[in-house]
Structures are given as structure tokens and as C-alpha cells.
Structure 1
């Protein structure tokens, strides 16, 4: 049992070291509900001025700076994606972040439409 625990801990340590971005300890770290938006908004202008691309790894957030990157983790399956904030929202009460369809696919929430997530600000 001890060997298995040590092996698991070692594996997680190695995987964490492979990340290309580090969670900013001074940054944003919130848990809440994510939703996604896609086809209906595809091509419309975002708050950043760029057209929304449902196939990009982007998201809408009410207060994080446009252009900032965050790590979004689906708490139900532990799948994560890094997205860039390029829009304002979500406009539905009780939601923390709106992901592009591609980002929602990466964390396995297309079928459910929403997911409990952790959103962590990343350092550059």
C-alpha cells in the first residue's frame, strides 16, 4: 500500500512539473459553475474586440482582465483546460465563467451543459 501511494505521489509530482504555466499563488482562485457558449455567438464581437470563435480556447468572465489566462478544472472528472479571457459574462446569475465550446469539450461538459469548476489565474 505504501509503495502504491509513493508511486502515485511521484507520478503527480512529475506531471505537475511538466505544466507550461504555473498557478499564480497571488492570483485568482474560485470555485463555481461553468457553462459554455457556441454556435449562436460564433463570429460575434467579444468585449476584447475580436470575433468569438467557438473552436478557440477562450472564455467570458465578469471581472478578470481581458487577455489573462486561467486554468479551468472540472471538479467532477478532474479534466483541465487553459483558456484566455476575451469576453465579459456570464450573463446568467450564479455562473462563474462561460467557456467556448472547444474548451467545454476539453473538460467534458458538453453533454451536461454546466459543470462545477475551479478557476485559477495563471502567471505569465
Structure 2
């Protein structure tokens, strides 16, 4: 397998908690595949044209795999992204902070710069068990959706980005990779669109609300700052 890596860099992983800034050192590998990608303690594997990324942030492990183009979206109600059919926008890499429409309603995600200071409190739910019965699902940025992973859907954050989600009920926290859109209102539960974040079942288990279904959380974007070689 060809190597796409240059020597290790140093990353300062910064979590914003209230007014305090916590910086943690991590080894980073910087590679170039369709752009410049910094992976925290991670590696790329390329198999049969599919890019697979494995990386860790603290105690949490993430696996990112590009979904086959013929897989259904987790939210097939997404009509357009950046003015294009959803799948075409994903193919062209035009998701990120692009405007998109769902059931005739237009959503305007924030820019990456604006998202760096994002924090909010509200109700979180979890989604994804229903996709186990299908042949596989694609997130809104083209990744394989894994219900057991540590991922999330958000209506307005740019994709992908990482966020620290904390249960206000029990104080547990998890860092999730935000790679999908939602939650959106549905016919049998219009109020579901008022929830601020949809977590994977795996993240819901970490926070201890899998059985309950919803819980009140705080959400803060995790900021990454590139530093110097150690």
C-alpha cells in the first residue's frame, strides 16, 4: 500500500469548558489525500478505492469509512445540498457548511470559524438502530453510518467537526464526530426537530441515556490548534 504520510507533527487539542482552556498534547500524522488531513493518533488505510481513517481523541476511538455511492442517506428527506441533489453534492465534496433543504425548509449551517465558539444546551436524542435492518447508510457528508460508533447529527454545525457532549443529568461526557444532519421534525413527532443533537446509539450508551431515549445535554465544539514539533 502506498504511503501518504509526512513526519509526525504536534497538535494541541483544546477543549473549551466555560472560561477555561485545556490544552492536551497529541501526536499527529499529516497526510495528503484529496487535500490536507490531520489525524489525531491515526492512520489511513486505502482498500479498493475506499479511504478508511482510524484515530483516537483521548479515550475515544473513531473509525471513518467512505460510504458506497449507492447507499441510502440516513436522512433521505434531505433534498438538496448547496443547490445540488444531495448525493451529487456529497460526490463533489460540497457539504461542509453548505446550505441544504429538508422537506422544503432551508437550513443555513454556520461556518467553521463561527463554529469554534459554539456551545448550547438542550435535548439530545439518539438514532440509528433502524438502519441495522438495512444494507448500510450514508451520513450527510458521505461517511458510513455506524450506530455503535461515536458520531452525531446536527442541523447547523459544519461537517465534519468534533463536539463534547455532556449529560446534565449525570455529568458524563463524550467527544463525538459530527458527520450528519438532523434531528428533523417527523410526521408522528413534530417536536423532534426541536432537539439540538442526535447521537449514535454508541454515544447514547456512553452518556447513559440509551434506554431513556432523550436527555438534557450541553454541547461544545472541540477546538483543534496546530502547534510545533515536540
TM-score normalized by the length of structure 1:
0.79
Deviations 1:93-116 (A, max 9, x none): 210000000000000011110000
C-alpha displacement of 1:38? 2.2
Which residue of structure 1 lines up, in the alignment, with residue 203 of structure 2? 103
* Matching residue within 162, 165, 170 for 1:69: 162
Question: 2:112 aligned with 1:22, yes or no?
Answer: no
User: What does 1:109-120 correspond to in 2, within 5 Å?
Assistant: 109-120=209-220
Q: Which fold has the larger relative contact order, with Cα–Cα distance below 8 Å and residues 6 or more apart in sequence?
A: 1
Superposed counterparts of 1:1-124, under 5 Å: 21-23=14-16, 27-42=117-132, 43-91=136-184, 92-124=192-224
User: How far 1:32 sits from its partner (Å)?
Assistant: 0.3
Q: Going by fraction, where is helix more abundant, 1 or 2?
A: 1
Aligned mates of 1:89, 1:48 — CA distance in 2: 12
Q: Distance in 1 between matches of 2:117 and 2:144?
A: 27
Alignment length (residue pairs):
105
Equivalent in the alignment of 2:227: none
How far apart in 2 are the matches of 1:77 and 1:45?
Answer: 31
Listed as ranges, the gaps of 5+ residues in structure 2 are: 1-12, 20-115, 185-191, 225-230
Q: Partner of 2:87 in structure 1? A: none
* Counterpart-to-counterpart distance in 2, 1:119 and 1:33: 10
Gaps of 5+ in 1: 1-19
Higher CA-based Rg? 2
Aligned Cα root-mean-square deviation (Å): 1.6
- Provide the residue aligned with 2:26 in structure 1: none
